[in-house]
Every structure is written in structure tokens, then in C-alpha cells.
Amino acid sequence: MKTTYREALNQALKEEMRRDDRVFLIGEDVAYYQGAFKVSKGFLEEFGSSRVVDTPITELGFTGLAIGAAMAGLRPVVEVMTFNFALLAMDQVVNNAAKIRYMSGGQLSVPIVIRGPGSAARQLGAQHSQSLEAWFCHVPGLKVVAPATPFDAKGLIKSAIRDENPVIFLEAQLLYPVQGEVGDDDYTIPLGVAEVKRPGTDVTLIAYSKMLLVALEAAGKLAQEGIQAEVIDPRTLRPLDLATLATSAKKTGKVVIVEEGSRRAIKFLSIWRLSTLSVSGRSAGQVFVIARSETTKQSHETKDEIAAFPVVARNDTIRHIRRIGGE
């Protein structure tokens, strides 16, 4: 059955709330307004105000409340209106959610999911368009998930809710209307497992979230030139499935990582490419190229927005891949 990314999340959250009465949703405008992007449409009518909780504009406060609820045995899903606003809750996320299991010697766990849209959208400006996944990936104790397809979004959000650890669940706003096949059955996708989205032999493309669509489009165009690109979606950014990535890299000998973040940001994949893998007897630094955004802040102007992150239409991604893929 084809459905949108938004509807897949809606279905998954409803199914988990029906399955387990410990699961509840909390955040700004999640109840009466049905979520800023309508992911929680129909929730208040079905589950009531005790399990679909509207909050004031206080990310630090309601995230802390949810962490306490998780420690007490509930399974909260926190919706942040945008992950740019999650910065206001970083003390709770980093110093409490991520640390409590370790600091309690395993006596306490924090099974919480913090989810919402992140990365650039359309004409939302610099304060609403940041890619902050690297921040969360640098925090021991957190799991970080960034699905690109409706199928993966549904299966991964279910696994995240059932996990005993805090999970950061990043949803790209521009993916909400994207359609894809989603099963009707109660399936889950394990956290920490990448997937080969398109097989190939000449070059490996690694991309996640909406950059996966860029990588797949680029692979299609490269195939017309005789370059067979293998496209891999990590899906989970922490823990990262290095085994799958390394297997493909060793097969093709060439890797391009397509990211949306700032060119000068020290991204988790950038660190991985420089420090953990050698391909065909050469250092990773010699064979890896990263196609990423320009070092700029996001503009309200559409033309400047398009110039700020990788798109196939501008041929920057193709240029990077062709540079090593055809060697």
C-alpha cells in the first residue's frame, strides 16, 4: 500500500499506542492542532488528553518531564516542532536522558523517543533549517535515527519506541509528503542496520534522510554514463552500521558521502571516512569525496536555498561522483 512519510509515522505511532498503554505523546500543539505537520492527526479523539499532551512553549521543561516519566516506567514520545528548538532542551537530553542509565549502574533506563522535523525545508530561514544530527551523534548514550522512506520511517519509529534507550528520531520536513510502499503488518526495522537501496560496482554513495533521494537520482543519471553506483542508506546514524558500509567500500574502492550539513562541520561520516577504513590499499582520505552544503546560513530566498545544499539539478553531486567513479 502506498502512503506518505507523514501517514506512515501517524500509523506507526497509533499502532504503538494501541499496543502499549504506557506510550504517550507530548509536545507543542500535538493534541488539538494535531501537530505542526499533522503527524498526530486523530490522536486526541482516539487516545484522549491524558496520552496526547499539549504543552507550553518550554522544550526544556516538557523534555525533562518526559524523561522523568520514562524513568518511572512510561514510554514517552516527545515531539519537537523543529529540531532547531531542541537546542533549548539539550541539558535534559545530554546530561539526563543520555547519562542516567550509566550513572545508575543500569538500575534505571530512559526509554524515550524525541522526534520531529529537522534540516532545511522551504523558506523557513536560518533558525529553522539546520542539520544538527552530528551534535546528537557525538553524545554517548543516545541512539540517532534518520529514515528516508515511509517504509523505513514506520518500522524504525516502532523499534525506537520499544527500545530501552533514548532515541533521537530525525524527520526531514520535505519528506512528509513523499509517498512510498508501506506494509499493513506490524513490522519493525532493527536500529543500527543499514540497507543497500541500489546495488552497484563502481562507486559507493552513502546518504541518509532526504539526501538519499539525491543520491538515488544521481545514481540513475550515472547509470546512463555506464557508472554503476551502489547507494546505501545508513538509516541509523548512531550506532552506525560500519560493516555494511565497509563491505560496499571495499567492493567498489570509491566512496562519496552525500550530506546536507555545513561544509566545515565535523560530521560523523566525515570522521569515519578519515579514520576507520582503508580501501584497496589506499588511505580513506584519498578515495573519499564528500558532497555537502556550502558554508552558509540558510536564506529565505528560494534561489539561495537551492544553492545551499546538494541537488542533482546543479550537477554538484554528479560532478563529485564522476570525479572518482569513472576512474
- Nearest one of 108, 105, 76, 110 to 93, comparing CA atoms: 110
Alpha-carbon torsion angle 282, 283, 289, 295, nearest 10:
-160
Please report whether residue 61 resides in a domain.
yes
Which position among 16, 28, 128, 260 bears the catalytic label?
Answer: 128
Q: For helices 211-223 and 316-325, what crossing angle results, to 10°?
A: 50
Q: What range defines the domain where residue 206 resides? A: 195-325
Whether 138 is catalytic: no
Q: What is the pLDDT along the chain (327 residues), one digit of tens a residue?
A: 899 999 999 999 999 999 999 999 999 999 999 999 999 999 999 999 999 999 999 999 999 999 999 999 999 999 999 888 889 999 999 999 999 999 999 999 999 999 999 866 655 656 666 778 888 998 999 999 999 999 999 999 999 999 999 999 999 988 999 999 998 888 999 999 999 999 999 998 999 999 899 899 999 999 998 999 999 999 999 999 988 988 888 888 888 888 877 655 545 555 455 445 544 454 444 446 565 555 555 555 555 555 555 555 556 667 667 766 555
Whether residue 80 sits in one domain with residue 151: yes
Query: Which of 258, 249, 327 lies closest to 289, judged by CA?
Result: 258
Domain stop point among 155, 181, 207 = 181
Residue 267 lies in a domain: yes
Count of domains for the chain:
2
Instruction: Judge if 271 and 294 occupy the same domain.
Output: yes
Domain presence at residue 189: no
**Strand bridging mode 229-233 / 2-4:** unpaired
Q: Is residue 190 part of a domain?
A: no
Catalytic residue among 28, 59, 79, 305: 59
Evaluate whether residue 188 is within a structural domain: no
Q: Is 128 a catalytic residue?
A: yes
Query: Are 201 and 294 contained in the same domain?
Result: yes
**Coil, strand, or helix at residue 260?**
coil
Residues 223, 82: one domain? no
pTM comes to 0.88
Same-domain check for residues 116 and 172: yes
Instruction: Say yes or no: 170 and 89 in one domain.
Output: yes
Select from 98, 97, 118 the least CA-distant residue to 36: 118
Which H helix or E strand runs over 282?
strand 282-283
Write down which residue in 152, 181, 210 finishes a domain: 181
What would the DSSP string read from start to end of 10-78? HHHHHHHHHH-TTEEEEETTSSSS--TTSTTTTHHHHH-TTTEEE--S-HHHHHHHHHHHHHTT-EEEE
